[in-house]
Amino acid sequence: MRKMSKNAWVFQMTVHGVEPDNDVIIQELINESGGLMIGKRKISKGVSYLLVVDLLALDILMTGMAEAYPCEVSYRKAKVIKF
C-alpha cells in the first residue's frame, strides 16, 4: 500500500485520442510522479483516469503528460465523483 500525503486530492485526467490498451506510457508517468491511479474508463474521446495526487505529483505528472501528449489532456478536480 502506498502512503499518500495528507494534502492529496482526487483528480480526473482525460487523455484524448488514446486507446485503453495502449496506455503503458501514461501508467508509467502516473507511477513515476508518485500518484495513484484508482480507476480507468474508456470514453468516446479516449481514456479517463481517476487519480489521487498531491501538488508535487500533479506538477510532475502534468509536465510529463505535456511532453508525451501535447494538447490532448484535460484535468478536473473531482468534487463529486461520477466514474
Residue 31 in grid coordinates: 507511477
The model's pLDDT over 10-46, given as tens digits with 9 standing for 90+, comes to 999 999 988 777 788 899 999 999 898 999 999 888 8
The model's pLDDT over 67-83, given as tens digits with 9 standing for 90+, comes to 988 878 988 887 655 54
Judging by beta carbons within 10 Å of its beta carbon (0-12, 13-18, 19+), is residue 76 exposed, middle or buried? exposed
Domains of the chain with bracketed CATH = 9-77 (3.30.70.260)
CA distances from 72 to 3, 8, 31, 76, 78 (A): 30, 24, 20, 14, 19
Name residue 19's amino acid: E
